[in-house]
Amino acid sequence: MEDSPKRTLDALDIQALLAYLPHRYPFLLVDRIVDIDGDRSAVGVKNVTANEPHFQGHFPGQPLMPGVLMIEGMAQTAGAICMAAMERKSRAVVYFMTIDQAKFRKPVVPGDTLRYHMQQLRRRRNIWKFYGEAQVDGEKVAEAVISAMMADDPRAP
């Protein structure tokens, strides 16, 4: 029997993400998780739209999704994996710790659908490490190795 059962397609819709992650608009950069395999992997989806605030300045007349926001979307997808695997919501928070080997390969523009493919590399106690790829139409547009730490939420009663 598996210790981390595979979650169903609708297990992490936007309402579940809002319960697991502290982020809110305009900084919630994942719309849903379409596949989650326990604490091992997940695919997050972000529909990139022209009305997002960062496109006003990045860059006027030629809007491009900032690479740092793609990395943040990967981190949020990984954070949702951690929270779902631990089945914790309001009593815990996931802190972004490191970004390594980040590469940006192609521009992402309004109308694209980003898919964040996250794969756990390692977990030691409350520290998690993931490899992530951001893809548009199956083509890699960014990648990075990130780590995060799960801790008690200081705002929890």
Nearest CA among 98, 117, 108, 105 for reference residue 142: 105
- Tokens 């697991």: give the residue: 20
For the four alpha carbons of 94, 68, 57 and 47, in that order, the dihedral sign comes to negative
How many CA within 13 A on the CB side of residue 144? 25
58 is catalytic: yes
For the four alpha carbons of 155, 79, 144 and 13, in that order, the dihedral sign comes to negative
Nearest CA among 113, 107, 147, 114 for reference residue 131: 147
Phi, psi of 22 (to 5 degrees): -80, -10
Q: Which of 23, 54, 58, 117 is catalytic?
A: 58
Please state, in angstroms and rounded to a whole number, the distance separating the CA atoms of residues 147 and 89.
19
Active-site residue numbers? 58
